[in-house]
């Protein structure tokens, strides 16, 4: 059922919405409470012999984050820039060296054995190449700051790589949307739950199912016995202050309501332009009322189904009367029945507000209902101001402020994001280079988390090379001061960035 609507009949027009917070529609039905719940209020969920630790109150924090970011006009492109900068020109093996001045630099190199293993992943049955695995891992990092990786082990510790015998065949990225921590230990009454308590990872579609038979359970990687299981999942994350189980996107919680508002602005504007120019009132229908009426209609359909089973015809079926109209609900509930009922109530209200009911719109505003949190909700009828210009300008002003908040929260300077204000692209070469240098110095933690599991696999597969300091990272140009670069090669003197 649509969250927004417009009624126009008998010379009277009004708009309406369902729920006090229309911006929630941008999150596809997810509630904000899940992303704001502290760990102390969460309790494990029992699924067969396992206790699963929920990701937020509704177990969908990761999904809420993904949906809100995906629906925003700025954040996806900003995250893509972060992904591109971290990935650089691609993954490369390297050794860190320290020069005589104590400066740490990277010496990129080739290693035939390690590269042969990296290039063999698809040939050995893994779904992705190592480059794609790392690309997916970077995305998980910037959306949730945590990465689930499945380590595929060779049963015989030999995979036929032209005589090369290694215990780890390769790695597979598993989306954090599908993974939850689990344990067989009874933690239902435990007040102090730690990351170490969870020995398994349960994988499945948490948005659509709670049926344990539709989920797969994998052992969590045990670093004390990494080769004990044929297939195990590790969880590498950027540790957050106060978050012990799942990593969280550091910028998201603080600006979540700004994202909601920013996502809803186009909906407000379009709805206003399409429906509100002739409307005199805007009606806010409480969710509690909708839920109550849905339950009533479901019960009527059930009773009609029982009458039908007893041999009664439709003439004896229960129906609903609203004003001078009657709704035949039938014996099978559908959402369309609820929509028809709401439209009948709106039509009836319009008759009251148009004057024929002698201002009996107060009947609706006096109706009270209680939601699941025990809070009172009531119908609200608001006059729509005829100051169209002021209304649109207010939305645009809010939108600009929201853009500034989102940009500052991501920590990407406008010279890098290419957004400096009102959609203007920043073209200062010197600013871009300076801020790009500063940003590059902040890539150590993201790279270490993204590459943690693949470097651990290198450690297990190639202990000698690992002991020599060989690691896998991403190749990016070295940060140099402008005075160290010849004038002709400086960005500030380049015609194009």
pLDDT tens, 29-71?
Answer: 444 444 444 445 788 889 889 999 999 888 888 988 888 888 8
pLDDT score, position 28? 42
Taking all residues of the chain, what is their mean pLDDT, rounded to a whole number? 79
Query: Cα–Cα distance between 345 and 339 in angstroms, integer?
Result: 10
- How confident is the model at residue 302, as a pLDDT? 93
Q: What is the pLDDT of residue 473?
A: 94
**Confidence class for position 431, pLDDT limits 50, 70, 90:** low
* pLDDT tens-place string over residues 133-151: 999 999 999 999 899 999 9
* Backbone torsions φ then ψ of 409, nearest 5 degrees: -65, -35
Quick one: which of 258, 261, 236, 238 has its CA closest to 250? 238
pLDDT at residue 235, rounded to an integer: 95
Tokens for 217? 């359970």
Rg, C-alpha atoms of the chain: 29
How do residues 104-131 score in pLDDT, each as one tens digit? Answer: 888 999 999 999 999 999 998 899 999 9
b/e for 431-458, b at 16 or more Cβ within 10 A? Answer: bbbbbbeebbeebeebbebbbbbbebbb
Per the CB < 8 A criterion, the answer to whether 432 and 71 are in contact is no
pLDDT at 421 over 70: no
pLDDT of residue 423: 47
Residue pLDDT, tens place only, 296-323: 999 999 999 999 999 998 888 999 988 8
Alpha-helical (H) ranges within 411-497 are 414-417, 429-440, 444-450, 452-461, 463-467
- Band of pLDDT at residue 468, cut at 50, 70 and 90: very high
How many helical (H) and strand (E) elements, i.e. helices and strands, does the chain have? 14, 19
CA distance 47 to 212: 6
Question: Residue 351: its pLDDT value, please?
Answer: 76
Q: pLDDT by residue (tens digit) across 15-24? A: 777 776 543 4
pTM of the model: 0.66
Supply 328's token pair.
Answer: 């035949």
Mean pLDDT of 413-436: 58
């Amino acid at each position: 059922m649509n969250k927004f609507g417009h009624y126009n009949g008998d010379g009277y027009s009004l708009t309406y919405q369902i729920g006090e917070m229309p911006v929630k529609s941008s999150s596809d039905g997810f509630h904000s409470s899940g992303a704001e719940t502290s760990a102390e209020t969460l309790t494990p969920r029992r699924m067969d012999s396992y206790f699963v630790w929920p990701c937020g109150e509704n177990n969908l924090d990761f999904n809420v984050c993904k949906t809100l970011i995906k629906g925003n006009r700025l954040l996806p492109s900003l995250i893509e820039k972060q992904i591109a900068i971290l990935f650089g020109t691609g993954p490369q093996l390297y050794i860190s060296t320290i020069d005589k001045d104590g400066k740490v630099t990277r010496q990129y190199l080739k290693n035939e054995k390690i590269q042969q293993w990296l290039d063999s992943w698809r040939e050995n049955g893994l779904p992705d190449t190592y480059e794609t695995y790392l690309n997916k891992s970077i995305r998980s990092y910037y959306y949730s700051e945590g990465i689930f990786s499945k380590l595929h082990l060779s049963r015989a510790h030999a995979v036929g790589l032209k005589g090369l015998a290694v215990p780890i065949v390769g790695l597979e990225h598993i989306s954090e949307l599908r993974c939850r921590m689990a344990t067989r230990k009874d933690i239902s009454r435990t007040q102090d739950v730690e990351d170490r308590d969870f020995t398994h990872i349960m994988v499945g579609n948490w948005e659509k199912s709670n049926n344990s038979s539709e989920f797969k359970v994998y052992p969590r990687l045990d670093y004390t016995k990494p080769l004990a299981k044929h297939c195990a999942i590790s969880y590498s994350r950027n540790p957050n202050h106060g978050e012990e189980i799942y990593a969280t996107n550091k910028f998201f919680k603080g600006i979540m309501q700004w994202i909601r508002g920013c996502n809803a602005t186009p909906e407000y504007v379009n709805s206003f332009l399409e429906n509100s120019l002739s409307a005199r009132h805007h009606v806010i229908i409480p969710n509690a009322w909708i839920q109550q009426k849905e339950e009533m209609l479901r019960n009527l359909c059930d009773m009609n189904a029982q009458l039908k089973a007893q041999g009664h015809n439709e003439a004896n079926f229960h129906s609903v009367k609203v004003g001078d109209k009657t709704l035949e609900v039938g014996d099978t509930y559908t959402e369309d029945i609820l929509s028809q009922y709401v439209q009948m109530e709106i039509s009836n209200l319009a008759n009251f507000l148009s004057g024929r009911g002698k201002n009996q719109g107060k009947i609706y505003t006096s109706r009270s209902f209680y939601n699941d949190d025990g809070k009172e909700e009531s119908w609200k009828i608001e006059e729509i101001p005829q100051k169209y210009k002021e209304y649109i300008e207010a939305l645009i002003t809010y939108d600009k402020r929201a853009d500034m908040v989102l940009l500052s929260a991501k920590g990407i300077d406008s010279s890098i994001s290419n957004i400096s204000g009102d959609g203007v692209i920043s073209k200062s070469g010197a600013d871009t280079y300076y801020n790009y240098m500063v940003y590059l110095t902040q890539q150590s933690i993201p790279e270490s988390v993204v590459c943690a599991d693949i470097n651990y696999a290198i450690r297990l597969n190639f202990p000698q090379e690992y002991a020599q300091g060989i690691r896998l990272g991403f190749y990016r140009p070295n940060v140099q001061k402008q005075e160290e670069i010849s004038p002709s090669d400086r960005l500030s003197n380049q015609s194009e960035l």
